Amino acid sequence: MKTPHDSLSERFAAALTQAFGEDYAEVDPLIAPAQNPKFGDYQANVAMSLAKRLGQKPRDIAQQIVDALEVSDLCDQPPAIAGPGFINLTCSADYLARLASDAVDDQRLGIAPVDDPMKIVVDYSGPNVAKEMHVGHLRSTVIGDAIARTLDFLGHDVVRQNHLGDWGTQFGMLIEYLVEQGAEQLDTLNIPDLNRMYQQAKQRFDADADFADRARQRVVLLQGGDQHTLHVWQLLVAESKKHFNAVYGRLNVTLADNDIRPESSYNDALPGVIEALEAAGMTSLSDGAVCVFMDQFKGSDDEPLPMIIRKSDGGYLYATTDLAALRYRIGELGARRIIYVTDARQKQHFAMVFAAVKQAGWAGDDVSLEHVPFGTILGPDNKPFKTRSGDTVKLVDLLDEAEQRAAAIVAEKNPDLSESDRTQVARVVGIGAVKYADLSGDRVKDYVFAWDRMLAMDGNTAPYLQYAYARIQSIFRKAEIDAATLPGAVQVEHEAERALVHKLVQLGPVVASVAQTLEPHRLCTYLYELAAVFSSFYEKCPVLRADNDEQKQSRLVLCKLTANTLKQGLDLLGIDVLERM
């Protein structure tokens, strides 16, 4: 389905061609929502922009465009010229009604898949094995998932990549400690235990030179493929995956086991990365370490900044693995857009990895490499969010608290709900609130984690939007109709109906802008505005007590389209709705 903006743009292209010739077909008509609804729905500013090129007065240009413009099926008043040469356009009620009824009859709400689907990798979440997921993993997981869902919806071929941190010297230390304590314990060890053991292992490592030596030996055994060591490591990975999957399940995140492509899976490719960069003449040795220096990266002292890709002891680094991962993603997966969702502190890392890959010629101009950075979650003291005792906040504890708090609110607001309904509502509202709070702000900014604000029933929150959805379902229940069987006919008479349809047809362009900018907060803002426009429609246009059956039917259809739009939008954010709450 075309938006009014699309359709009007096409008509302008035709009019410009007719008035001034083929060369003008591609000129941007500069169509924007009208600044003042008094003058119509849209205004086109193209006449001003063409004044110089045509050497004519904008008003004269506007007149020639309007004379050639064929919009009688979209607007019922002829386009009006105002001021220095604005062209004002008012959509006809029929046209708006057609847009609404086409959308409501369509599963995709009238949003067509893109014409040029691309293979797109989205790298997100990437927690580390043997560690419990903490609040620091929330943002990558939630933002990455919203981006992947949105690109999926638009018809792209999305490959999710969960770059688990499952390799490195720290595992030698942990495994050595576990073996020392009796590895058979692994049958009963859970992730919180491992978290603790990891800290104990670290203490041993720092305090006991003997242990440290054995831990280093253990790394060599692990890398050399020693059976027993590998076995313990595999148990660690398996146990960790169970934990990650449990968190993903609770968060309603689409990551599955076959999206996992951990650091260790690139082990065999690492020597080849070094060789290829050496062959490209990009490496130099510095104190025995293999480094890549690139002119554009300088330290604070203006000295060239190295990207180390192999340590003097032969060990590889985070950057080496990312270089190998990029080769795989471009060369084998055939990705044309590769998106990394990590916190802003990794900005420099990705800038260097991307630059190296371009310089080495592994990524041509047809491949877009994008780092999607985000800010830090802060506590009430404006410092990085910690527990009262100063520890990092475990993600499961955070989700538990979200559900508990939501349950208390639900119990107070709706005491008639059965125990099991209440648990279900609390889950959807609590988790939705946490996710939405993370998605709704400009992602590059830090934000303060505030329970009261994210769980509020008014304002730009998940509960507010979920409530708007549930309220519409309750209208259908009251009307005793099955929304699925509503006929699609719509009439658009009242100002508030016009405003609602105009807002509803914006979902497509908003989703497209999220796909382009990778900023899910644009979708949140849209849904919040939609809920407000709906409220005002509902206030001004009685639905159940409409003047006649036709009007009632039509308004019910607008309710249904609003509910479907809210549901679809929240789904792209990975947030569920409820039929009642």
Give me the residues that bind ligand ARG (CB under 6 A), please: 123, 126, 128, 163, 165, 322, 325, 340, 342
Tell me the closest approach of the beta carbon of residue 306 to ligand ARG, in angstroms.
18
- Tracing tokens 């877009």 back to the chain, one arrives at 368
- Nearer to ligand ARG by C-beta: 171 or 538? 171
- Nearer to ligand ARG by C-beta: 244 or 340? 340
Strand 304-310 versus strand 289-298 pairing type: antiparallel
Q: What are phi and psi of 305, to 5 degrees?
A: -100, 125
Tell me the closest approach of the beta carbon of residue 335 to ligand ARG, in angstroms.
13
Tell me the closest approach of the beta carbon of residue 121 to ligand ARG, in angstroms.
10
- Nearer to ligand ARG by C-beta: 293 or 318? 318
- Nearer to ligand ARG by C-beta: 325 or 486? 325
- Nearer to ligand ARG by C-beta: 324 or 428? 324
Find the radius of gyration of the CA atoms of the chain: 29
- Nearer to ligand ARG by C-beta: 298 or 345? 345
Tell me the closest approach of the beta carbon of residue 496 to ligand ARG, in angstroms.
47
For residue 572, what is the enclosing H or E element? helix 549-572
CA-to-CA distance for 538 and 558, rounded, in angstroms? 10
Tell me the closest approach of the beta carbon of residue 184 to ligand ARG, in angstroms.
29
DSSP helix/strand/coil, 247 = helix
For residue 44, what is the enclosing H or E element? strand 42-44
Tell me the closest approach of the beta carbon of residue 220 to ligand ARG, in angstroms.
23
Is residue 295 packed enough to be buried (19+ CB in 10 Å), middle (13-18) or exposed (0-12)?
Answer: exposed
Is residue 220 packed enough to be buried (19+ CB in 10 Å), middle (13-18) or exposed (0-12)?
Answer: exposed
Tell me the closest approach of the beta carbon of residue 124 to ligand ARG, in angstroms.
8
> In this chain, which residue has its C-beta nearest to ligand ARG?
126
- Nearer to ligand ARG by C-beta: 85 or 165? 165
Tell me the closest approach of the beta carbon of residue 319 to ligand ARG, in angstroms.
9
User: For the chain, what is the total number of helices (H) and then of strands (E)?
Assistant: 20, 13
- Nearer to ligand ARG by C-beta: 40 or 165? 165
Tokens of 99: 């847009």
Neighbours of 78 (CB within 10 A): 12
Sheet of 80-82: strands edge to edge?
31-33, 42-44, 86-89, 80-82
- Backbone angle region of 394, left / alpha / beta, with phi > 0 → left and psi within -120 to 50 → alpha: beta
